[in-house]
């Protein structure tokens, strides 16, 4: 009989109180819905193979850091409309393929300063939109439990997506331990979700340089990851003060001083409504959810995200 590892006593009781909002690459923090009051959840971090003798690293397109942390990824999110960079894989003295990863903690830090687990079962799984020049994996980080299972964490394989964005939705049952693991302590994706510490996007391949961009990530249950990536879903920030204003189900525009067309797109990139930006639009016929508003004209061009309730 497989031994199942449970650490329910370490899990915060309030961890399932709120919803995981699909992250669309437009904020430095992922709103997991199970973060604790330290507000240390949802911030992206990177890791690599240096502990085993590897020499891999992530080459970022802009310098990291903000007023609070030299490693904060706010500038990367702003620049990429997601988390993008180049996985520069170098084997060093490793006996296996080199790797780097990018992830975020789902609950945040505990009293010791280490990340603590939470119950993410209600998410149902994960969805992700990304590009990657090497086939990555989406891995469930379990903190101290990683060593107990020989670092054979439940993971889901993702396809290489070098030329266009790929989207995948994976239920917890789709996360499995690697085939090479022969240890006694088994961990299913469902078990891991109940004691989840971090979500990790890992690139492991032969030595070389591999570009990537994590454009969106969200829950399998109730979350919708877009099929488009990068600037297609990122608000265009410029000198213009034009913006979309949503009041109930009525959408109006301010700062649009010349003729412009407005389009409402769902997260699959489909245009579901059109109008003239000089007048308000009634969106009562649309389903509740997240939409992108695109306004284009001779002197204005911007995109905003709206949420219809």
Confidence of residue 235 (pLDDT cuts 50, 70, 90): very low
pLDDT tens-digit readout, 276-286: 988 899 999 99
CA 213 to chain centre: 10
Q: So what's the pLDDT on residue 204?
A: 97
Q: So what's the pLDDT on residue 137?
A: 98
Quick one: average pLDDT of 198-217?
96
Q: Domains (ranges, CATH) in the chain? A: 3-232 (no CATH), 243-308 (2.60.40.3080)
Report how far residue 207's alpha carbon sits from residue 237's, in angstroms, rounded to the nearest whole number. Answer: 36
CB neighbours (10 Å) of residue 78?
Answer: 15
Angstrom CA distances, 234 to 14, 78, 131, 229, stand at: 32, 9, 15, 8
Indicate left, alpha or beta for 297 from its phi (over 0: left) and psi (-120 to 50: alpha).
Answer: beta
The yes-or-no verdict on residue 26 having pLDDT over 50 is: yes
Q: So what's the pLDDT on residue 6?
A: 40
Residue closest to 257 by CA, chosen among 194, 206, 302, 307: 302
Report how far residue 294's alpha carbon sits from residue 68's, in angstroms, rounded to the nearest whole number. Answer: 33
> 170 phi and psi, to 5 degrees?
-130, 120
Find the Cα–Cα–Cα–Cα dihedral 8, 12, 13, 17, rounded to 10°. -120
pLDDT tens-digit readout, 1-23: 444 444 333 333 333 335 788 99
Q: So what's the pLDDT on residue 301?
A: 67
The yes-or-no verdict on residue 231 having pLDDT over 50 is: no
Asked if 129 contacts 213 with a C-beta cutoff of 8 angstroms, the reply is no
Asked if 301 contacts 235 with a C-beta cutoff of 8 angstroms, the reply is no
Across all residues in the chain, what is the average pLDDT?
Answer: 86
The yes-or-no verdict on residue 149 having pLDDT over 70 is: yes
The yes-or-no verdict on residue 237 having pLDDT over 60 is: no
pLDDT tens-digit readout, 46-105: 999 999 999 999 999 999 998 888 999 999 998 888 999 999 999 999 999 999 999 999
Q: So what's the pLDDT on residue 10?
A: 37
Asked if 227 contacts 269 with a C-beta cutoff of 8 angstroms, the reply is yes
Quick one: average pLDDT of 20-47?
91
């Amino acid at each position: 009989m497989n031994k199942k590892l449970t650490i329910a006593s370490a899990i915060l009781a309030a961890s399932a109180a709120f919803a995981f909002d699909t992250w669309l690459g437009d904020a430095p923090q992922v709103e997991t819905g199970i973060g604790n009051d330290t507000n240390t959840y949802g911030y992206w971090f990177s890791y690599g193979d240096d502990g085993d003798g590897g020499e891999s690293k992530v080459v970022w397109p802009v310098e990291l850091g903000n007023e609070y942390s030299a490693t904060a990824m706010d500038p990367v999110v702003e620049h990429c409309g997601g988390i993008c960079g180049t996985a520069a894989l170098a084997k060093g003295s490793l006996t296996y393929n080199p790797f780097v990863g990018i992830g975020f903690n789902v609950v945040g830090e505990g009293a010791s300063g280490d990340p603590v687990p939470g119950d993410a079962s209600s998410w149902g799984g994960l969805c992700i939109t990304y590009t990657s020049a090497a086939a990555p994996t989406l891995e469930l980080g379990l903190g101290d439990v990683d060593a107990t299972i020989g670092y054979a964490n439940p993971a889901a394989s993702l396809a290489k997506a070098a030329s266009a964005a790929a989207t995948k939705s994976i239920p917890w049952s789709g996360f499995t331990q690697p085939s090479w693991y022969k240890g006694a302590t088994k961990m299913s994706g469902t078990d891991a979700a109940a004691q989840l510490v971090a979500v990790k996007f890992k690139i492991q391949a032969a030595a070389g340089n591999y570009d990537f961009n994590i454009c969106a990530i969200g829950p399998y249950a109730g979350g919708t990851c877009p099929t488009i990536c990068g600037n297609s879903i990122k608000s265009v920030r410029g000198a213009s003060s034009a913006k979309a204003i949503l009041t109930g189900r009525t959408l109006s525009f301010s700062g649009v001083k010349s003729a412009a067309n407005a389009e409402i797109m769902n997260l699959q990139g489909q245009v579901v409504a059109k109008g003239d930006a000089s007048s308000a639009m009634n969106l009562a016929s649309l389903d509740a959810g997240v939409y992108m508003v695109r306004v284009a004209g001779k002197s204005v061009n911007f995109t905003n995200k709206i949420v219809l309730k």
